[in-house]
Chains A and B, each alone.
Chain A
């Protein structure tokens, strides 16, 4: 019974999320464009599917993976797990002692990005538009590798307490250099994949990890150091997707050259 009630709440929250969008679409379609929507029944059913689907998805995650994942983030960053005794917390520790935190950060970053519905949507669209050259799986794996690297580096930053903006600025420099070298066709998609990699699945778990780390490590404040994980998870997929495209292009060129010889 409890579950039905909480599902009702999730559904209501989704409805509140979707209603403004539906109102804007409907308003412009009728007042400005003055054209009926093609196949309105199909669109309406599709909207219900989106609404119901996301509500079920979030409800299921709230029941299973979110609580255990958040708890895990707390346990892995708890002093008792990282050091043998809690008293060790008074002095700073070598960053390598947080080994499992980095592994967990990378693993959770990768796996949540793969499950991200928004990323799936963009990958399906990219696959359609590119005529199948960009595969749904290929793009998502590239993005997920990027998120994994980003979240792991974000954890390292919190552990070492180095300023966030130097990481972000260096990442920008790398992105700009890669942009000048990557195949032109991939650039807009690569930029977009940064924005879609952090959404409903990634944000709750990654943010919990960041805040947990900032609370545990001596000298870090959750307020100043807990943020920034999402920014990393946003930037690294851009690099990963461009690198993936560069790799594919380089391989194709090499085979072409080999064939000529």
Chain B
């Protein structure tokens, strides 16, 4: 018997098409089933309200199924991409910064990452345009398009600055090993104090701006960065010290936006 024909000897250098396909399917099944579980509730909720409460038919059923298939594939691909790119890159950069030993650069990186990823965020652009309309209606600013556009851009820069500062503080906290709750609670006091001084029209927008700043691409990267730092620096626990960066990024924009509302 020729060794190549022996089924008991594995030939890793020459996997057949069947084996390759099998490996791909096996790797795809877990994220696919995970994303199916993630999507099930929203499909049920929309279906229930459409059919039972509002008593209307589902429009264009075939198109609906095709769209759901796209959503399913998209979420599964995203999950594979997380494990292949965003997580390893965040952790690797954290490791490299600590090994390099120059912590100033790490802080510069943290600020740049926060500022750079937020300033172009589509959700933020939408919210700041909405805010400009509110400000014009409340006669805080002129209702001309120029005044509104400069207000919106100012707001966007303010929020981006806030997120940059948040990541800067957050990374500094990991380096120092401070407990996250003291800083967050201090931030809450900041928000409450600002609420009483800021113009009432801006308060709702300021509160909401905290939630829209962290995009789906930034979150995994920032989480991996924090955990990478906590893993690399001696004496830090990844669970206690590694998390918390995103919390800062959703807190500082509230304070900064209210300050912006007071200055303008």
Binding site for B on A (CB under 8 A): 13, 16-18, 20-21, 23-25, 28-29, 32-33, 35, 37-39, 42-65, 68-69, 72, 75-76, 81, 100, 104, 107-108, 110-112, 114-115, 117-118, 120-122, 124-126, 129-130, 136-137, 140, 144, 164-165, 168-169, 172, 175-176, 179, 184-185, 187-189, 191-192, 194-196, 198-201, 203, 223-231, 233-234
16 A-B contact pairs sorted by A residue (CB < 8 Å) = A56-B70, A111-B44, A115-B39, A115-B75, A118-B215, A120-B34, A125-B224, A126-B239, A129-B242, A184-B240, A187-B181, A189-B243, A228-B207, A228-B208, A230-B208, A231-B204
Partner of B80, one of A39, A46, A176: A46
Q: Which of B70, B100, B227: most chain A CB closer than 10 A?
A: B70
Q: Is B177 an interface residue (CB 8 A)?
A: no
Q: Is B81 in contact with A49, judged by CB distance below 8 angstroms?
A: yes
Partner of A194, one of B45, B80, B192, B247: B247
Partner of A17, one of B93, B120, B250: B120
Across the interface, which residues of B come within 8 angstroms of A200, CB to CB? 215-216
The 8 A CB mask of B197-235 against A (1 = contact, 0 = none) is 000110111011011111111111101100100000000
Q: Knowing A64-B68, A118-B214, A192-B245 touch, does A223 contact B134 (C-beta < 8 A)?
A: yes
In the docked arrangement, what's the CA distance between A191 and B67, Å? 34
Across the interface, which residues of A come within 8 angstroms of B121, CB to CB? 17
In the docked arrangement, what's the CA distance between A138 and B64, Å? 29
Across the interface, which residues of A come within 8 angstroms of B210, CB to CB? 195, 230-231, 234
Count of B interface residues, CB-CB < 8 Å: 107
Interface window among B1-9, B82-90, B146-154: B82-90
Across the interface, which residues of A come within 8 angstroms of B122, CB to CB? 13, 17
Partner of A50, one of B38, B58, B85: B85
Besides A35-B96, A188-B239, 17 new A-B residue pairs in contact (Cβ under 8 A), listed by A number: A21-B116, A24-B112, A32-B100, A37-B89, A45-B85, A46-B81, A49-B80, A64-B67, A68-B58, A81-B54, A111-B41, A112-B42, A117-B79, A165-B207, A191-B181, A195-B250, A228-B204
Closest partner residue, chain B, to A202 (CB atom): B211
Whole-angstrom distance between the Cβ of B200 and the nearest chain A Cβ: 8
Q: Which B40-82 residues have C-beta < 8 A from chain A? A: 41-46, 48-50, 53-54, 58-59, 63-64, 66-82
Q: Is B109 an interface residue (CB 8 A)?
A: yes
Q: Is B260 an interface residue (CB 8 A)?
A: no
In the docked arrangement, what's the CA distance between A14 and B143, Å? 32
Q: Is B195 an interface residue (CB 8 A)?
A: yes
Partner of A188, one of B188, B203, B218, B241: B241
In the docked arrangement, what's the CA distance between A196 and B92, Å? 22
Across the interface, which residues of B come within 8 angstroms of A24, CB to CB? 109, 112-113, 116-117
Across the interface, which residues of A come within 8 angstroms of B82, CB to CB? 46, 50, 121, 124
Q: Is B184 an interface residue (CB 8 A)?
A: yes
Q: Is B66 in contact with A188, judged by CB distance below 8 angstroms?
A: no
Across the interface, which residues of A come within 8 angstroms of B25, CB to CB? none
Q: Is A107 in contact with B64, judged by CB distance below 8 angstroms?
A: no
Binding site for A on B (CB under 8 A): 34, 37-39, 41-46, 48-50, 53-54, 58-59, 63-64, 66-89, 92-93, 96-97, 100, 105, 109, 112-113, 116-117, 119-123, 133-134, 137-138, 179-181, 184-185, 188, 191-192, 195, 200-201, 203-205, 207-208, 210-221, 223-224, 227, 237-247, 249-250
Q: Is A50 in contact with B207, judged by CB distance below 8 angstroms?
A: no
Partner of B246, one of A129, A196, A223: A196
Q: Is A33 in contact with B217, judged by CB distance below 8 angstroms?
A: no
The 9 closest A-B pairs by CB, nearest first: A46-B85, A46-B84, A227-B204, A56-B74, A57-B74, A53-B77, A49-B81, A60-B70, A53-B78
Q: Is A118 in contact with B220, judged by CB distance below 8 angstroms?
A: yes
Whole-angstrom distance between the Cβ of B149 and the nearest chain A Cβ: 18
Q: Is A117 in contact with B84, judged by CB distance below 8 angstroms?
A: no
Whole-angstrom distance between the Cβ of A82 and the nearest chain B Cβ: 12
Q: Is B116 in contact with A43, judged by CB distance below 8 angstroms?
A: no
Q: Which of B49, B69, B201: most chain A CB closer than 10 A?
A: B49
Q: Knowing A17-B121, A64-B67, A187-B180 touch, does A75 contact B86 (C-beta < 8 A)?
A: no
Q: Knowing A17-B217, A68-B46, A169-B192 touch, does A191 contact B180 (C-beta < 8 A)?
A: yes
Partner of A56, one of B38, B73, B112, B180: B73
Partner of A231, one of B58, B185, B208: B208
Across the interface, which residues of A come within 8 angstroms of B247, CB to CB? 188, 191-192, 194-195
Across the interface, which residues of B come within 8 angstroms of A176, CB to CB? 185, 188
In the docked arrangement, what's the CA distance between A44 and B97, Å? 21
